[in-house]
Amino acid sequence: MTSDLHPKRLLGKVVVVTGAASGQGAAEAEALIREGARVIATDVAQAPGCHRLDVTSEKDWSELAAELRESYGQVHGLVNNAGVTWRARIDDVRPEDMARVHAVNVTGPLLGIQHLTPLMCPGTSIVNVGSSAALTAHYPVAYTTSKWALRGLSRTAAMELGPRGIRVNTIHPGFVETDMTASASPAFREANLSETPLGRTGTVDDITPLVVFLLSSDASFITGAEIPVDGGLTAHGGTKSISDALRADA
Ligand code: NAI
């Protein structure tokens, strides 16, 4: 809700969101619009209000940058949210799976940064969407390695773009109820629940306030940071089952 007491935090800001046809990206686009941003929602999938952009395509990024230069002259925010998973384990994953997942989850954000930062001036902000997989040994190895690589990209980008006044931060969602997690087995959901201290899964509305904050001037001295939004999933480093077992034993 916004009012005079709660001024819109992104009034007039031009913000590009990738993977905005569904899930977290769609919710982020809506939340940014509520804060007054002019959102360019993009996705490889067709969706009402979404501009078609495959994050792995240099041509798509270069066309988008040209259109934004023409219509707005500048960009204030980029949310590199598009992502794919592939649930093969280490014995089964194939080089082509690795390449496909890394192309979307790592090269996609890199291309976004390369093509849009020429339009970004001091005070602008990039949010990369990592994962609790980027902080752990999550079993789908193509996905996990891609999200660890995204951490490296984010930190390098924060260092390289800092002198230009462009901030780059990473958020690490835990289990969030979207199409991506709906396609996993029920056992995956149950196991995540038992490892999550807050005892529930996340919703897209748990994620969007952090994205709004990181894009806004409220976060003006935060760059190179990585923030889990995971109900405590990654903070205990696997010790929750030990604590739970001993409590049950007592
Ligand atoms: P989702 O599957 O609902 O959304 C992903 C979106 O990315 C889809 O709309 C899809 O069409 C789009 N996309 C896929 N490949 C693309 C490409 N080449 N170019 C442009 N768009 C493409 O899933 P969700 O959960 O909303 O995922 C958003 C981000 O959050 C992803 O980066 C995902 O890895 C990450 N994440 C999700 C978690 C979850 O529990 N749902 C947990 C941690 C991270």
pLDDT tens sequence across 175-229: 999 999 999 999 999 999 999 999 999 999 999 999 999 999 999 999 999 999 9
* pLDDT tens string 103-122: 999 999 999 999 999 999 99
Q: Which numbered atom of ligand 1 lies nearest the CA of 176?
A: 40
pLDDT band at 3 (very low <50, low <70, confident <90, very high): low
* Mean local confidence (pLDDT), 147-151: 98
Instruction: Name the residue with higher pLDDT: 4 or 160.
Output: 160
CB distance 21 to ligand 1 below 6 Å: yes
Ligand 1 touching residue 45 (CB < 6 A):
yes
Centre of ligand 1 to C-alpha 173, Å, is 11
DSSP the chain: ---SSS--TTTT-EEEESSTTSHHHHHHHHHHHHTT-EEEEEESS--TTPEE--TT-HHHHHHHHHHHHHHTS---EEEE---------TTT--HHHHHHHHIIIIIHHHHHHHHHGGG--TTEEEEEE--GGGGS--S-HHHHHHHHHHHHHHHHHHHHHGGGTEEEEEEEE-SB-SHHHHTS-HHHHHHHHHH-TT-S-B-HHHHHHHHHHHHSGGGTT--S-EEEESTTTTTTTT-HHHHHHHHHH-
CA 245–ligand 1 middle distance (angstroms) = 34
**pLDDT-based confidence at residue 123 (cuts at 50, 70, 90):** very high
- Return the residue whose CA atom lies nearest to atom 32 of ligand 1: 83
Report how far ligand 1's centroid is from the alpha carbon of 22 (Å): 8
Band of residue 66 on the pLDDT scale cut at 50, 70, 90: very high
* Catalytic residue of the set 41, 143, 171, 206: 143
How long, in residues, is the chain? 250
Pocket test for ligand 1, best of 148, 180, 206 (most atoms within 8 A of CB): 180
Instruction: Give the pLDDT band of residue 248 (cuts 50, 70, 90).
Output: confident
35 lines ligand 1 (CB under 6 A): no
Q: What's the whole-number average pLDDT of the chain?
A: 97
Q: What's the order of all strands across the beta sheet hosting 124-129?
A: 51-52, 38-43, 14-17, 77-80, 124-129, 166-173, 226-229
Question: 154 CB less than 6 Å from ligand 1?
Answer: no
139 is known as an active-site residue: no
Q: Round to whole Å and give the CA distance between 196 and 214.
A: 24
pLDDT score recorded for residue 4: 62
Q: Is the dihedral angle over the CA atoms 148, 136, 161, 50 positive or is it negative?
A: positive
DSSP 8-state symbol, 161? H
CA of 83 to the centre of ligand 1 (A): 4
Give 171 Cα–ligand 1 centroid separation in angstroms: 13
Q: Tell me if 97 sits within 8 A of 137, measured CB to CB.
A: no
